[in-house]
């Protein structure tokens, strides 16, 4: 497993949690944009990881 990619997914998720909480609890509008950005990044990273897993499975 590529720990770098895994760590990036974890970091993007943690960023999302922080920003979503800031938006929901404090009503900070800028946090909403940052939360959406984190979700977009998370989506890209998960697609990359899915491909990586599929390629490794095909090699087995």
The two three-digit tokens of residue 35, written as one number? 């939360």
Q: Residue 2 in 3-state DSSP? A: coil
Q: Compute CA distances 56 → 23, 30, 32, 38, 39, whole Å.
A: 39, 39, 36, 27, 26
pLDDT of residue 2 exceeding 60:
no
pLDDT higher than threshold 60 for residue 1: no
**Strand, helix or coil for residue 28:** coil
Write out pLDDT tens, residues 8-27.
Answer: 999 999 999 999 999 999 99
pLDDT of residue 3: 73
- The mean pLDDT value for 39-60 works out to 95
- 23-35: buried (b, 16+ CB within 10 Å) or exposed (e) per residue? beeeeeeebeebb
């Amino acid at each position: 497993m590529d720990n770098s990619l895994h760590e990036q997914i974890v970091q993007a998720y943690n960023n999302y949690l922080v920003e979503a909480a800031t938006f929901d609890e404090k009503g900070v509008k800028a946090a909403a944009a940052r939360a959406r950005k984190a979700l977009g990044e998370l989506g890209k990273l998960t697609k990359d990881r899915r491909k990586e897993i599929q390629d490794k499975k095909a090699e087995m």
